[in-house]
Amino acid sequence: MQKYKEFSPTQFDSKGLLGEYHGIADYLVIPVMHTRDSRPLDESNFATALDMLGGEDGEDVQVHRFGHWGPGWFEIVLINPLRDDLVKVGEEIEASLADYPALNDEDFSNREWEQVMMYWEQMGLREKYEYCRRAGESIFAARANDFSDFSERAPKAAERIEESGRE
């Protein structure tokens, strides 16, 4: 993990913005971040990392939010380097993410599913009809009451909707 005073979200940004002023320059940056544009994987990892650290306490585990010219805003998690227990958890998070992109598969999967369901609910009938037509399936499946029913009636179209909903 790097110290906050060495951290910058991009190469074009200042390192350790106001870290000395706020007394957090030597705090460690947990390798998760989320932004206005975060996808389910980033959201899941951010929430899971905070959970693993015992949540934000305002002292030893802090979430800092910054306005940014790129994504609008971003948040990072900082931990007190003097807390050995937190440093150990932070190192576990870092090692886990080095080997695999998700800290919690179940949470990530649930967030992806929620995103697909939101996409489905926001689709109009005409759009659902087009998915069915392009997949070569019955256009009447577009009138399904819910996504589970739709998936049974038009599995190819449902698969395409799931792919689109994850994008």
pLDDT tens for 56-86 read 998 999 999 887 577 778 899 999 999 999 9
Burial of 85 (0-12, 13-18, 19+ CB in 10 A): exposed
pLDDT of residue 24: 84
pLDDT of residue 68: 58
- With a cut of 80, say whether residue 14 has pLDDT above it: no
- With a cut of 70, say whether residue 107 has pLDDT above it: yes
- With a cut of 80, say whether residue 140 has pLDDT above it: yes
H/E segment holding residue 74? strand 72-79
Q: What CA dihedral angle connects 142, 145, 147 and 149, to 10 degrees?
A: -90
pLDDT tens for 37-62 read 899 999 999 999 999 999 999 899 99
The structural domains of the chain, with segments of one domain joined by +, span 2-103, 123-166
Burial of 129 (0-12, 13-18, 19+ CB in 10 A): middle
pLDDT averaged over every residue in the chain: 91
Query: What does the alpha-carbon distance between residue 77 and residue 48 come to, in Å, rounded to a whole number?
Result: 12
**pTM of the entire structure?**
0.85
